[in-house]
Structure 1
Amino acid sequence: MSQFPTRFPMSARQKLNRRHFLQTTGAATAAGYFAGTSSLGNAQESPNERPVFATIGLRNQGWTITNKSFKYADFAAMADVDANVLGENIAKAKEQQGTAPEGYADYRKLLERKDIDAVMIAAPDHWHTKISVEAMLAGKDVYCEKPLTLTIDEGKLIEKVVKQTGRVFQVGTMQRTENNQRFLQAIAMIRDGRIGEIRKVTCGIGGATNSPVIPAIDVPEGLDWDFWLGPAPKVPYRALPEMRKGYGGGVPLYTNCHYAWRNWYEYSGGQMNDWGAHHVDIATWALGADQSGPSKITPVSFSLPVDYKDGHPTVSDQYNSPTKFEIHANMPGDIPLVITSEGDNGIMFEGTKGRFFVNRGKIVGKPVEDLESNPLPEDAIENVYGGPVAANHTDNFVQAMRSRKQPISDVWTHNRMLETCHLANIAIRLGRELNWDPTKREIVGDDEANSFLSRESRKGYEIDM
């Protein structure tokens, strides 16, 4: 009997060629961390072995993670508070898998379905914790986009519910799996001593933009604005006529909704949590600090686009997350981790024997060049990953669903990393250094700063426990 129920026939386009089938089967059945009850290759070939997924939050990244997952799962349902986005993505999903998922304006109706094995969550950050917790309590495994939480206490709650329910939970920090294994190679080089003892790590995550005054206007047709706000405070919808181009296009360039919500602390952690959740994750993993975290956070310099009082913006009609910053985090062994808006996007590792730089497009430096004559051990990258590297982040998630072991980007290591980013934002908002107790997971001797570890949900949108 299949571990996953079958709901949809598999279209011909989903079948893999023999070479890919054999490669994937070998990866999934290898001994070690990812060994499961049946091979992922069989799951792709046999309709009786395919899990049933649903996606909640469909614009941009929601479709991206869904689209790369059709080869592993059948999508029975989709949910979005924007009827236009929902309709467009249902049509695209039907084209991919031959059957249209059922659409929902309210994700809670989707969670009531017993035929769904897992949900993929790509709603804005302020929704992540509520949907994730309720999905696990409804018996679903979860793949949730990064950054996982809006606050540090939300992370603790998710950890509690993962432990309580035994659900598999993958965080979408896909640099742990994808990007041609460059980041895994970087960690393997450090573990193999290629730069000696680490002396400093710098994460360049880019700056953000400010905005003009953004007026309150009528809510676009098809968007349930109150539900989009959800746990966040009730405010008017704001937008200017200029449209965004490129990735995230087709929406206003300046708004407090689609895409630009990343520039508002009410819904996100700004650039610190957006790109920071990727690069600080790899840096923390490389430092072996993903079970502990920093002891001190120092805001060396920063620029906020609006005035703040007591850690809160004084105006509500402009972007309010930092545009420029340099943050120093004291990591275990007093190794400095610098998070900066300046320089090339990526991570610079500096040690006693050299340094190298890695990002999504390159890994460069003399220690990298030296690999040509002195390569890493054959199993170096697999040792970092904990087994054969999955084809992509969804591949790893489905393997974990079968084995009932946590995937490569688990909630505990993610939250430890993200605490550095959250603390950096609190330090910027209050304009002062913070001392952090990584055991108690609280800020030392600063009640005001500790008040930022959680946020109250708007009435009617509390987490349903």
Structure 2
Amino acid sequence: MSQHKRVSSRQVSSRRSFLKQTVGSAGIAAAGGGLVPYFLTASRAAAATASGDRPLIGCIGLGGQGSWNMELAMKHADVVAVCDVDSNRLAEARQNAGGKADMYDDYRKLLDRKDIQAVSIATPDHWHTKIAIDAMKAGKDVYCEKPLTLTIDEGKKICQVVKETGAVFQVGTQQRSDMDQRFLQAVAIIQSGRLGKVHKVSCAIGNAESSPSIPIVAPPKELNWERWLGQAPLVEYRWQGGKDAEGAEIPYKSRGHYEFRWWYEYSGGKMTDWGAHHVDCACWALGLDKTGPNAVRVDFCEHPVPFEKGYPTLDDRYNTATSFHVVNTFDDEGVELTIRHDTDNGILFEGDKGRLFVSRGKLAGKPVEELTDNPLPADAMRKAYKGSEPVSHMQNFFDCVKNRKEPISDVFSHHRSLTNCHLANIALRLNRNLKWDPVKEAMIGDDEAQSFVAREQRKGYEITV
């Protein structure tokens, strides 16, 4: 069996069991952040309907999440092209798409297709920004998995290109739409004033993986490892798994598929993997997704390897933080946002009228209990959902491809929310507190910390806007 055919139980539990679909009608509030020339917006709308009611989509990145997104997209569009640097995943995706989709190992060839109106991107995190920007500049609308970016600077670049091109761009933070709309209901409760003034919110996202030393091995023949690395430094492939000489199972560890999220070179660990969901919903509920914190305080942090000047000193094992407690302070709003590895996974809001806890399996607190006798206004959910009837996350994207309105998870709010996670990771890597200017989006008095707002990119794979 190929090394990369293995599917982690974590993948299954964190995706399909939670991605429940909802039904409803379309309609999203107008996009913010700059005017787009009418002819560009109109031409995109015309392209979206040129082939009839079902637009044509290409899917880039076809691991567990990418395959699931493709399956959801097929309810609303025709998949005519698939792309991956792993030929096994590519062939399997083509078969799952009905056996007729064209296959590409280079996403640029897919983007050259004039008949494709939209793309789904579910590559490792470090590839998201470059592919998304290239797709928008090629005239495509984009559905891209979270976390959208690897750095704060990448988020600023994506926002810039969305404004310039008028692309419809949905970030894959499905908690805004799916999960039985539990998070949406929590947002509606809070925005209706049922908690009063919220002064604290805690996002518990669980601890992360660690590993022993992972040996260097030759990349499997089906994987183009050099292209998989993309903008990241060129390094040897590492993998272990299977069974030992006595038949005992060897724990699966890798520098590649799925496990990329435990390496700062490609992702941000649990901080961005789950933080991209919970911190996003916390900021959405409190209106913090239009600004940023003023300060970041590190109360506790553990990394699986030693760090020096913000960089791991060992390159043979996972390096993202395994446990942490970070507090981001929003001075103007009078709110403290805590991101932590411990306590029950979910979001705890604390206001002067009560507390509310929401997770993928629970919505609890006095304001929830009071709904029986004092239900929310009839339009509360619609107001929280940008004035539209809530639908599934993927349907919301394709509705917006047709009506050219802003999706429920837009890049502007996601960039601001995810900045909290990126800042927390910078503080954890340097093991010190930070001061941040949310208007200038820059560190205050800390050049070393500022250097982590962007990253070096390997020649030939640079992000250009």
TM value normalised by structure 1? 0.88
1:432 aligns with 2:429: no
Q: Is the 8 A contact 2:381 2:390 kept in 1?
A: no
Q: Is the 8 A contact 2:28 2:406 kept in 1?
A: no
Alpha-carbon separation, structure 1, partners of 2:461 and 2:30? 38
Name 1:50's counterpart in structure 2: 54
Name 1:264's counterpart in structure 2: 263
Q: Deviations over 1:300-337 (max 9, x none)?
A: 10100000000000010010000000000102423111
Displacement of 1:47 after TM fit?
7.1
Q: Is the 8 A contact 1:152 1:422 kept in 2?
A: yes
Alpha-carbon separation, structure 2, partners of 1:251 and 1:456? 35
Structure 1 residue identity aligned to 2:187: I
Alpha-carbon separation, structure 2, partners of 1:252 and 1:439? 45
SS in 2 for 1:297: strand
**1:39-188 matches, cutoff 5 A:** 48-94=52-98, 100-188=100-188
Displacement of 1:387 after TM fit?
2.5
Q: Is the 8 A contact 1:177 1:389 kept in 2?
A: no
Displacement of 1:251 after TM fit?
12
Alpha-carbon separation, structure 2, partners of 1:278 and 1:62? 17
Q: Is the 8 A contact 1:239 1:252 kept in 2?
A: no
Q: Deviations over 1:259-305 (max 9, x none)?
A: 10000000001100010000000101111111101111111101000
Name 1:305's counterpart in structure 2: 304
Query: In structure 2, do the counterparts of structure 1 residues 390 and 381 end up closer, same or farther at CA, with 3 Å as the change threshold?
Result: closer
Q: Is the 8 A contact 2:82 2:104 kept in 1?
A: yes
Alpha-carbon separation, structure 1, partners of 2:251 and 2:59? 24
Alpha-carbon separation, structure 1, partners of 2:444 and 2:242? 45
Q: Is the 8 A contact 1:253 1:260 kept in 2?
A: no
Could you tell which deviates more after superposition, 192-201 or 321-330? Answer: 192-201
Name 2:323's counterpart in structure 1: 324
Structure 2 residue identity aligned to 1:289: L
Name 1:222's counterpart in structure 2: 222
SS in 1 for 2:85: coil
Displacement of 1:252 after TM fit?
7.2
Higher relative contact order (CA 8 A, sep 6+): 2
Q: Where in structure 2 are there 5+ consecutive unaligned residues? A: 1-22, 32-40, 43-47, 244-248
SS in 1 for 2:327: strand
Alpha-carbon separation, structure 1, partners of 2:464 and 2:357? 44
Displacement of 1:192 after TM fit?
1.8
SS in 2 for 1:327: strand
1:351 aligns with 2:355: no
Could you tell which deviates more after superposition, 436-445 or 327-336? Answer: 327-336
SS in 1 for 2:290: coil
Q: Is the 8 A contact 1:251 1:258 kept in 2?
A: no
Q: Deviations over 1:191-250 (max 9, x none)?
A: 22212211211100000121000010011120000000011000000011248xxxxxx9
Name 1:405's counterpart in structure 2: 405
Query: In structure 2, do the counterparts of structure 1 residues 389 and 180 end up closer, same or farther at CA, with 3 Å as the change threshold?
Result: farther
Alpha-carbon separation, structure 1, partners of 2:190 and 2:176? 15
Structure 2 residue identity aligned to 1:235: V
Alpha-carbon separation, structure 1, partners of 2:277 and 2:184? 13
Name 1:460's counterpart in structure 2: 460
Q: Deviations over 1:352-403 (max 9, x none)?
A: 1111210111101222111111111111111100123343111111111122
Alpha-carbon separation, structure 1, partners of 2:136 and 2:117? 10
**1:281-292 matches, cutoff 5 A:** 281-292=280-291
Q: Is the 8 A contact 1:297 1:330 kept in 2?
A: yes
Displacement of 1:462 after TM fit?
1.3
SS in 1 for 2:188: helix
Q: Deviations over 1:34-85 (max 9, x none)?
A: 9x99xxxxx99x9721110011000010011111111110011000000001
Identity of aligned residues (%): 52
Displacement of 1:463 after TM fit?
2.5
Query: In structure 2, do the counterparts of structure 1 residues 63 and 463 end up closer, same or farther at CA, with 3 Å as the change threshold?
Result: same
Q: Is the 8 A contact 1:185 1:381 kept in 2?
A: yes
Query: In structure 2, do the counterparts of structure 1 residues 315 and 441 end up closer, same or farther at CA, with 3 Å as the change threshold?
Result: same
